[in-house]
Chains A and B, each alone.
Chain A
Amino acid sequence: MAQPVNPIEVKERIKYKGKHKVNLQRPKKGPKYFFRKCKEQKELLWMSVPFLIWLFIFKYLPLGGWVMAFQNFRPARGFLDQEWAGFDNFRFLFGSERFLEIMRNTLAMSIINLVLGFVTAVTLAVLLNELRNITFKRVVQTISYMPHFLSWVVVAGLVSTALSMDDGIINTVLLNLGIIDTPVMWLGVGHYFWGIIGASDVWKSVGWNSIIYLAAMTMIDQEQYEAAEIDGASRMQRIWYITLPGIKPVVVILLIMNIGYILESGFEAQYLLMNSMNMDFAENLDIYVLRYGISMANFSLATAAGMFKTIISFIFLFGANKIAEKLGEARLF
């Protein structure tokens, strides 16, 4: 018998065999148990195994492509028939000045988006929650969700129209308010790019992102508000001491989830709004990968950059989770 058996269990089996007509307690572990269960759950396996194979092919198999990061990959040859480069690609990557700029842009835009996104969504949710007129609230909500359904292609078009030199609404408003004297070429100045991306991102997703906080607010015990009101707490105090602590667990979980995406500063917005004038501030890791990988066919370097991104994301995710655990907050896993 290949499989180890608990001696006590065997004894029990022998003891009860014959005396009582009980079924043998069959072991709950080991390959035999597993295969018996598989037979029993044949149908569930039919339902899931094809998609597990799909998952393996489309999500796990490409991870094998990471070997390219350690090679000087030439597409004409097979994966194992390549010239090995050790850490040369990484050395080149971290040594190049361009890469430092890319990292700066990636982190800057990602942090701006993260902070701005959280603050605006929570603020919007709080303000919506404080609206007394339900119809008005619903109308504002519906309108604020709308941009979420537009593609980045469309949003990028709207943004560049709004920012245009001639007749763009942003320039028109700022000129009329006397904040600027001459129209500004917003997309032509690199320094404005991060702000533009942040603002576009907020415009597109603030309404949508507020949904989850609003939902969390409905879980808060209404009696707390009544008690606070009797104690003379002002609206602001009620928001600060009841509403915000009430949604804190949700905020923490979402924050952890998003910190895992710290190097995902977005791709579409940057790619679509980028031009030769703002490129030094617009190019992020994803665009770099695209440019080196697809356009210049330097698969190895692009893979190294992509791999770097995934690994950093993982570290950040686990780090954030650990910190949340230490602080006694809700955790993701």
Chain B
Amino acid sequence: MSLLRRLAGKRRGIDDLIFDSVNILLMLILVVVMLYPMLNTLAISLNDATDTVRGGLHILPRSFTTHNYTHVFNEAQVIRAGITSVLRTVVGTGLGVFASAMVAYTISRPHFILKRFTTLAFVLTMYMNAGLIPTYLLNRELGLIGSFWVYILPTLIGVFNLIVIRSFIEGLPETIFESARMDGAGEFVQFFKIALPLAVPVIATVSLFVAVGQWNQWFDVFIYNSSIPELSTLQYELMKVLQSTNTSGGGAADSFADSLGGQVEMVTPQSVRAAMTVVVSVPIIMVYPFLQKYFVKGLTLGGVKG
């Protein structure tokens, strides 16, 4: 009997060892698969363009240069698009999160007369989408086409974010609000002085979601403002470069690359694309490790309770 147990125990030990080894191996493969494409692009962006054409470049640049980046930043359009991108991210996140938090606060109040109505009206829109064309026509009627506000207003409040914030505020102890009411605090005071400060973790999470969405958006630029260079964004500029090289192997990226002609060091569409990809991605990648501890919590809240 004891021998059997010992054997079983031992076998379990070997099983465990195999399991752990396989698991760690799989995780290492995952890490490589996740990181390789990004590091490869980074390497191309930091490598001399003529050298890149030779091929065989993996995760380290062979012939280091920052020339591709100087080239990208010398384009006036890139700077302008960068400003628009930052602007839409900041304004869109600020206004959107504020509006979401305010509505979330009202539907978190148990006594609010429109609590159910408001909640339902918002949640229904998650699945009831009028579609591209009616939305397009509406924005045209409202005069939003050709304007910066088409990036902000139509997507001001995201329902998922609303629910996440509401769940968080509902989780706060009601006694805090009660005692504030005793002291004569109105709803606005309760919202600004109590709900908002206490909801910082969830506000941070939602801000990250909205900011990522705003920064990464290109479709609204494409649909509404593609003819207005002042309102173009980095993602849209990158999209144009990518599309032109994808389809015809030249086009915009070529002219983009050629526009600095006469220079000694050459750039190719491939290197420009890589440098631009890095420029577009680094800001958002930089932010998220700082907010990681918040968003895991926030996402869980929204998903489980939502």
Query: Chain B residues with Cβ under 8 A from A211's Cβ?
Result: 296, 299-300
In the bound complex, CA of A159 to CA of B273 (Å): 13
Which residues of chain A (60-75) have a CB below 8 Å from chain B?
A: 60-66, 68, 75
Query: Chain A residues with Cβ under 8 A from B107's Cβ?
Result: 48
Q: Does B215 contact A (CB under 8 A)?
A: yes
CB within 8 Å for A234 and B292 given contacts A47-B191, A48-B102, A62-B135? no
Q: What is the chain A residue whose CB lies nearest that of B296? A: A211
State whether A144 touches B30 (Cβ < 8 A): yes
CB within 8 Å for A157 and B300 given contacts A47-B102, A47-B191, A314-B128? no
Q: Does A169 contact B (CB under 8 A)?
A: yes
Q: Does B173 contact A (CB under 8 A)?
A: no
State whether B187 touches A157 (Cβ < 8 A): no
State whether A167 touches B56 (Cβ < 8 A): yes
Contact with B along A94-135 (1 / 0, CB 8 A): 000000000000000000000000000000100110111000
Q: Does B207 contact A (CB under 8 A)?
A: no
Name A's B-contacting residues (CB within 8 A).
34, 37-38, 41, 43-48, 51-52, 54-55, 57-66, 68, 75, 124, 127-128, 130-132, 136, 139-140, 142-147, 149-154, 156-162, 166-167, 169, 203, 207, 211-212, 215-216, 232, 234-236, 250, 253-254, 260, 267-268, 272, 275-276, 286, 289-290, 293-294, 299, 302-303, 305-307, 309-310, 313-314, 317
Most buried by B among A149, A153, A160, A267: A153
Query: Chain A residues with Cβ under 8 A from B304's Cβ?
Result: 212, 215-216, 250
State whether A55 touches B41 (Cβ < 8 A): no
Query: Chain A residues with Cβ under 8 A from B284's Cβ?
Result: 149-150
State whether B27 touches A299 (Cβ < 8 A): no
State whether B137 touches A203 (Cβ < 8 A): no
Query: Chain A residues with Cβ under 8 A from B55's Cβ?
Result: 166-167
Query: Chain A residues with Cβ under 8 A from B118's Cβ?
Result: 48, 52
Determine which of A68, A143, A156, A305 lies in contact with B31 in the assembled complex, contact meaning CB atoms within 8 Å. Answer: A143
Name B's A-contacting residues (CB within 8 A).
8, 12, 15-16, 19-20, 23-24, 26-27, 30-31, 33-38, 40-41, 44, 55-57, 99, 102-103, 105-107, 109, 111-114, 118, 121-122, 125, 127-138, 142, 153-154, 156-157, 186-188, 191, 212, 215-219, 223, 235, 238-239, 242-243, 246-247, 273, 277, 280-281, 284-285, 288-289, 292, 296, 299-300, 303-304
CB within 8 Å for A158 and B37 given contacts A61-B138, A215-B300? yes
State whether A149 touches B212 (Cβ < 8 A): yes
In the bound complex, CA of A193 to CA of B99 (Å): 40
13 contacts between A and B (CB under 8 A): A34-B113, A38-B113, A61-B138, A63-B128, A64-B134, A65-B134, A66-B134, A136-B24, A160-B242, A216-B304, A306-B130, A306-B133, A310-B128
Q: SS class of chain B's interface: helix, strand, loop or mixed?
A: helix
Query: Chain B residues with Cβ under 8 A from A63's Cβ?
Result: 128, 130, 134
Q: SS class of chain A's interface: helix, strand, loop or mixed?
A: helix
Which 8 pairs show the lowest CB-CB distances between chains A and B?
A306-B131, A65-B134, A151-B216, A62-B130, A43-B187, A62-B134, A215-B300, A158-B37
State whether B132 touches A302 (Cβ < 8 A): yes
Query: Chain A residues with Cβ under 8 A from B239's Cβ?
Result: 153, 272
Minimum CB–CB distance from B73 to chain A (whole Å) comes to: 18
State whether A144 touches B24 (Cβ < 8 A): no
In the bound complex, CA of A139 to CA of B157 (Å): 33
Query: Chain A residues with Cβ under 8 A from B111's Cβ?
Result: 41
A44-B187, A47-B106, A62-B138 are known contacts; what are 19 more A-B pairs with Cβ within 8 Å? A43-B187, A47-B187, A54-B156, A54-B157, A58-B154, A65-B137, A66-B134, A149-B212, A151-B218, A151-B281, A158-B41, A159-B37, A162-B37, A169-B37, A216-B304, A232-B12, A302-B131, A313-B127, A314-B128
State whether A153 touches B238 (Cβ < 8 A): yes
Minimum CB–CB distance from B141 to chain A (whole Å) comes to: 9
In the bound complex, CA of A142 to CA of B27 (Å): 12
In the bound complex, CA of A99 to CA of B112 (Å): 47
In the bound complex, CA of A147 to CA of B216 (Å): 12
Query: Chain B residues with Cβ under 8 A from A272's Cβ?
Result: 239, 242-243
Most buried by B among A51, A54, A65, A207: A51
Query: Chain B residues with Cβ under 8 A from A44's Cβ?
Result: 106, 109, 112-114, 187
State whether B131 touches A303 (Cβ < 8 A): yes
State whether A144 touches B216 (Cβ < 8 A): no
State whether B134 touches A268 (Cβ < 8 A): no
State whether B26 touches A127 (Cβ < 8 A): yes
Query: Chain A residues with Cβ under 8 A from B134's Cβ?
Result: 62-66, 68, 303, 306
State whether B133 touches A68 (Cβ < 8 A): yes
Q: What is the chain B residue whose CB lies nearest that of A148? A: B212
Determine which of A60, A154, A293 lies in contact with B280 in the assembled complex, contact meaning CB atoms within 8 Å. Answer: A154
State whether A307 touches B235 (Cβ < 8 A): no
In the bound complex, CA of A236 to CA of B36 (Å): 31
State whether A136 touches B27 (Cβ < 8 A): yes
Determine which of A158, A162, A235, A306 lies in contact with B15 in the assembled complex, contact meaning CB atoms within 8 Å. Answer: A235
In the bound complex, CA of A299 to CA of B135 (Å): 11
State whether A48 touches B106 (Cβ < 8 A): yes
State whether B133 touches A150 (Cβ < 8 A): no
In the bound complex, CA of A253 to CA of B125 (Å): 18
State whether B131 touches A307 (Cβ < 8 A): yes
State whether A157 touches B136 (Cβ < 8 A): no
Minimum CB–CB distance from B300 to chain A (whole Å) comes to: 4
Determine which of A48, A146, A250, A275 lies in contact with B303 in the assembled complex, contact meaning CB atoms within 8 Å. Answer: A250
State whether A65 touches B36 (Cβ < 8 A): no
Minimum CB–CB distance from B31 to chain A (whole Å) comes to: 5
